Amino acid sequence: MGGPVLVDADPGIDDALALHYLLATGGWDLKAITAVAGNVPLPRAVANARGLAALLGIERDVPVYGGCPKPLMRDLETAQHVHGDDGLAGVFLPWPSVAERPEHAVWVINELARWYSGELTIVAIGPLTNVAAALILDPSLAQRVGRLVFMGGAVNVPGNTPPGVAEFNIYVDPEAARIVAESGMPFTMVGLDATEQSKLSRKQLENLEDSSARSGFTREILDHYLAVYEQSRGREACALHDPLAVAVAADPGWVKLETGNLYVETQGEYTRGKTAFVSQALREESPGLDPQLGLGQVALGLAREDFAGHFVATLDA
Ligand code: BDR
Ligand code: CA
């Protein structure tokens, strides 16, 4: 696969890894990076995306646009305890040498989807606020996007936000996730069911060469990310959440996909952001359900072993 792609991100350590990986595959025509509030507040997400574009050598070709500063209906909750105060573990990034773009990410998403109608892939690796706002502005976006692949959700596994029910990106803006899921946009959800199986160990990190500025940066942020996992979960491996979503956009064979209906919980007392999934097979036994509501693909596990090995090999190539 490949073709025009837009990455909507809240960088974020694994967002940075995902961008590095996407470029290293050489298979995509990256049209824009849109930033959203999530792991860090919006101004920091924009600054990080711009710094990453400079580091990765794409800042003259790939514009960065700022989007929504908070979830649609809630206050922002960040994940700076995981990614560091600045979102990228305090590791030095080059200063951008191109001016900040004034256009709003939500407008850009709609423009690119019009320009590349039917062809554009969106890989969303933060809360879905920008994508949902773009749909509110123009609901026909759902018919123009080739496919949305988003990192988010947890179906048969625990979540990673208290009380352990919902995944972070969906928890932060469940209303946005619900709007997107129910919009009719073709989507593939890559959530914790798959990404928690895509673990990179400290030993694998040591195999990553660090001769260039970008690989040195990637090693340093991964070192911090692994330390967070070691301290919080007592294990010497970290999940490659956002890079796996990028990989699935190019090759769905990485994951076990099922088609069915996705329901995002926005009201629950303990279940804010929970993603409930009813597979197509089960749906046939539930005649009361609208078969189109929330229809999409959901990754329920990894289909191949050693995504982390492929990830390291791709960055090194
Ligand atoms: C997701 O939450 C964020 O902290 C990560 O960047 C990733 O997108 C994992 O739950
Ligand atoms: Ca992210």
Q: By three-state DSSP, how is residue 279 classified?
A: strand
Greatest C-alpha distance within the chain: 59
Confidence of residue 287 (pLDDT cuts 50, 70, 90): low
Burial class from Cβ neighbours inside 10 Å (0-12, 13-18, 19+) for residue 14 reads buried
Q: Which atom of ligand 1 is nearest to the CA of 192?
A: 10
Structure tokens at 72: 């649609």
pLDDT in tens, 209-235: 888 899 999 999 999 999 998 888 888
Cis status, amide bond into 12, omega within 30 of 0: yes
pLDDT of residue 80: 94
pLDDT in tens, 16-49: 999 999 999 999 999 999 999 999 999 999 999 9
Nearest to 7 by CA among 183, 168, 243: 243
Instruction: Look at residue 289 and tell me whether its pLDDT is greater than 80.
Output: no
Distance 166 CA to ligand 1 centre (A): 12
pLDDT of residue 136: 98
pTM of the model: 0.97
pLDDT in tens, 106-140: 999 999 999 999 999 999 999 999 999 999 999 99
Q: What are phi and psi of 76, to 5 degrees?
A: -75, 135
Confidence of residue 281 (pLDDT cuts 50, 70, 90): confident
pLDDT of residue 2: 82
Residues 6+ apart with CB under 8 A from 162: none
- Within 13 Å, how many C-alpha atoms sit on residue 206's CB side? 5
Burial class from Cβ neighbours inside 10 Å (0-12, 13-18, 19+) for residue 94 reads middle
Nearest to 311 by CA among 155, 180, 227, 198: 198
**CB-based burial, 131-167: b 16+ in 10 Å, e otherwise:** bbbbbeeeeebbebbbbbbbbbbbbebebbbeeebbb
Give CA–CA dist 123/187, Å, rounded.
10
Give CA–CA dist 92/213, Å, rounded.
10
Instruction: Look at residue 285 and tell me whether its pLDDT is greater than 80.
Output: no
Instruction: Look at residue 286 and tell me whether its pLDDT is greater than 90.
Output: no
pLDDT of residue 129: 98
Q: Hey, which residues are catalytic here?
A: 241
pLDDT of residue 232: 86
Residues 6+ apart with CB under 8 A from 166: 154, 159, 174, 265, 271, 272, 273, 274, 275
Lining residues, ligand 1, CB within 6 Å = 12, 14-15, 39, 79, 82, 125, 151, 160, 167-169, 241-242
pLDDT in tens, 49-107: 999 999 999 999 999 999 999 999 999 999 999 999 999 999 999 999 999 999 999 99
In order of start, what are the domains of the chain with their CATH numbers? Answer: 3-316 (3.90.245.10)
Q: Which residue CA neighbors atom 10 of ligand 1 most closely?
A: 168
Q: By three-state DSSP, how is residue 253 classified?
A: helix
Task: Please report, in angstroms and rounded to a whole number, the separation of the first and last CA atoms in the chain.
Answer: 19
pLDDT of residue 236: 82
Distance 289 CA to ligand 1 centre (A): 31
pLDDT of residue 280: 86
pLDDT in tens, 84-96: 999 999 999 999 9
Give CA–CA dist 57/142, Å, rounded.
32
* Residue 223: count of CB within 10 angstroms of its CB: 14
pLDDT of residue 157: 98
pLDDT of residue 207: 85
When the pLDDT of each residue in the chain is averaged and rounded to a whole number, the result is 95
pLDDT of residue 312: 94
Distance 128 CA to ligand 2 centre (A): 10
pLDDT of residue 93: 94
Average pLDDT over residues 147-153: 98
pLDDT of residue 211: 81
